[in-house]
Structure 1
Amino acid sequence: MTQKFDTVSLSKCKSAIPVIAQWFCYQWSDWYGPEGPGDAIADLEEWADGDALPLARLALSPDGEPLGIVALKNEGLGEEYGFGPFLSAFYVPSVHRRRGVGFALISAVEEAARDHGLGVIYCTTDGARSLIEKACWENTGLTSPSERGLLTIYRRSL
């Protein structure tokens, strides 16, 4: 089942930042949780600063409810190989999955990368592997260590 939504720059919907910060604290609690070193609000505000990297794209329902987010950042897992920039902070709450939101967010960040003159972007994932592969991202055959174990590095030529 598909769902009606738009993808927009986070800079156009900064009011969604508190909700997305809660998602981050839930999904990446080791980093953004109470004991973690990350600051979800500060990161999201940086990604909503305009059109320069880092940037984020948000999926919104017709009534303005955030449905998912993805970021494009210069740093990420895999930068030890000299790779970058990276699709990152990709999250769609389970209630909105399998409705086209994730695929639309991937497409939106690819478009943003092309708009910035980028020819290739990278990502790692443990939870969205099948979606990344369906979106025609190529497995580089390399991995990067994370707190979740070794993660496969994917590349998307634009």
Structure 2
Amino acid sequence: MAFFESEWPAHYGPSGPGDALADLQSYAGKHELPIGLVAYVNGVPSGFMALKQESIAVRPELGPWAAAGYVVPNMRGRGLGSQLLAGIETTAANIGASKLYSGTSKAHNLLLRAGWAKREMMAYDGEIVTIYSKQLSKIDQRGYHYQ
């Protein structure tokens, strides 16, 4: 909860509209959205990413979304964000999504390295945000990918 508040103080801070605890609790699903993934390093929660139906309010027609990605500062640059993103992609494909979206003002390189395509840029929530998309592969019971 504290990392949500520190990473997004305008939303989860004392004067923000968000409720970090309620949002984190809402990500407890396993087979329906929203779903959250937590990365642990040596038993310590070190990163988080969510799969949710809605993220950027002005694009309600898009979804699902890879959102709320966060890695604790001392663990950044070690591939944890990439692992979380891959987990979100697999989770989305496994629940039947064929396309996934993400909006970011910071994680451009992460998404581009993972094969995401830029879709559009916009001013949103006081920042310039780029929306990315990725066509997902299905994974069959033998572990083979197909469209």
Give the shorter-chain TM-score range.
Answer: 0.7 to 0.9
Q: Residues 43, 81 of structure 1: CA spacing in aligned structure 2 closer, same or farther, 3 A cutoff?
A: closer
Measure the CA separation in 2 of the matches of 1:131 and 1:80: 22
* Correspondence for 2:80: 101
Q: Which runs of 5+ in 2 are unaligned?
A: 137-147
Kindly indicate which of the two structures has a greater share of residues assigned to helix: 1
The answer (yes or no) to whether the contact 2:39–2:47 under 8 Å persists in 1 is yes
Measure the CA separation in 1 of the matches of 2:62 and 2:112: 19
Aligned length: 136
When normalised by structure 2's length, the TM-score is 0.87
When normalised by structure 1's length, the TM-score is 0.81
* Correspondence for 1:143: 121
The answer (yes or no) to whether the contact 1:73–1:87 under 8 Å persists in 2 is yes
Q: Which runs of 4+ in 1 moved over 4 A?
A: none
Measure the CA separation in 1 of the matches of 2:130 and 2:112: 11
Kindly indicate which of the two structures has a greater share of residues assigned to strand: 2
- Pick from 15, 19, 41 the counterpart of residue 35 of structure 1: 15
Q: CA deviation at 1:22?
A: 0.3
* Correspondence for 2:142: none
Ranked by relative contact order (alpha carbons within 8 Å, sequence separation 6 or more), the top structure is 1
Q: CA deviation at 1:68?
A: 0.4
Q: CA deviation at 1:155?
A: 0.2
The answer (yes or no) to whether the contact 1:58–1:66 under 8 Å persists in 2 is yes
* Correspondence for 2:53: 74
Q: Does 1:153 align with 2:131?
A: yes
Measure the CA separation in 2 of the matches of 1:123 and 1:33: 23
Matched-pair identity in %: 35
Measure the CA separation in 1 of the matches of 2:99 and 2:58: 13
**Could you list the per-position Cα deviations for residues 50-77 of structure 1 after superposition, in whole angstroms to 9, with x for gaps in the alignment?**
331001111111x320110000111012
Q: Which runs of 5+ in 1 are unaligned?
A: 1-20
Q: Does 1:64 align with 2:37?
A: no
Q: CA RMSD in A?
A: 1.4
The answer (yes or no) to whether the contact 1:55–1:71 under 8 Å persists in 2 is yes
Q: Residues 81, 55 of structure 1: CA spacing in aligned structure 2 closer, same or farther, 3 A cutoff?
A: closer
